[in-house]
Each structure stands twice: as structure tokens, then as C-alpha cells.
Amino acid sequence: MRWQGKFGRKPTGGKLIPARGKRKHEVGREQSDTTIAAVRVKKIETRGGNQKMRMLRGDMATVSDPVTGQSKVVKIERVSENKANLHYMRRNILTKGAIVKTEIGEARITNRPGQDGVINAMLLPAA
């Protein structure tokens, strides 16, 4: 579990003296690190009794072509670029903004698979 409350320092560097301790609603969860493999989705309960689908593994993406306006479900081969973290490319971790190589070409992931439970992408123009 990660605590996602206030940071302990001011922007000037001065120390913040908290008026209270940590709270249950400030606790976060570990990131899912969605990888390329057979699909595995986990359902988690969020605050207020809602549910969130967390994709742990996925190998298919719904890729939409901006030129034709059509969408296809295609297989993901590998992650070719991920600006969120350079090591994610080697580990094939899928995040929003990652560029993946698919059967029909390269595509950029447009949603957050660890939050949404699905992988949506937009086809990139051939260079």
C-alpha cells in the first residue's frame, strides 16, 4: 500500500508539521504493470462501493484507424516505445501513451489499461 497524502515539505523546502495523521482514504494501491500475455483482469472495489477493472495481462487491443474511422481487435506483438519509463519497453509494460507493434502496424495506447480493464489504441500513420 502506498500513502498518497501530502508531501512533508513546502515548495521552499521548509518542513510541514501535519495537524493530523494519515487517513484510510489517502492510501493508494500498487500499480498494475499491465504486460503482454494471455488476458487476466482483476476486479477491485473502490471508494464508495464502485468497482474498477484492473488489467494485469493483455494481448489484444481495439485499434481504431483515424483515416477510415474503423476499429479492429488485433494482437499486440511488443512494446516499441514507452516514454513513461524507458525500462517499460524491455519489460513490455503497457501504459497510456505507449507505442505498440500490432499486426496492422504501430499504434499508440489511448487509455489506461490498469484502470479501465481494456486496451484501446489509435493507429499511427506510416512513416
According to the model, what pLDDT value does residue 79 have?
96
Residue matched to cell numbers 471508494: 47
Percent of the chain with pLDDT strictly greater than 90:
72
Q: Which of 82, 88, 53, 74 is nearest to 122 (CA)?
A: 74
According to the model, what pLDDT value does residue 109 have?
97
- pLDDT under 70: residue ranges of the chain: 1, 127
According to the model, what pLDDT value does residue 29 have?
87
108 Cβ contact list (under 8 Å, min separation 6): 97, 98, 99, 100, 121, 122, 124
Q: Which of 125, 106, 91, 30 is nearest to 61 (CA)?
A: 106
According to the model, what pLDDT value does residue 24 have?
85
According to the model, what pLDDT value does residue 3 have?
82
According to the model, what pLDDT value does residue 1 have?
61
Q: Which of 69, 67, 65 is nearest to 106 (CA)?
A: 65
In a 3-state reduction of DSSP, which class is residue 38?
coil
Judged on CB neighbours under 10 Å (0-12, 13-18, 19+), 47 is: exposed
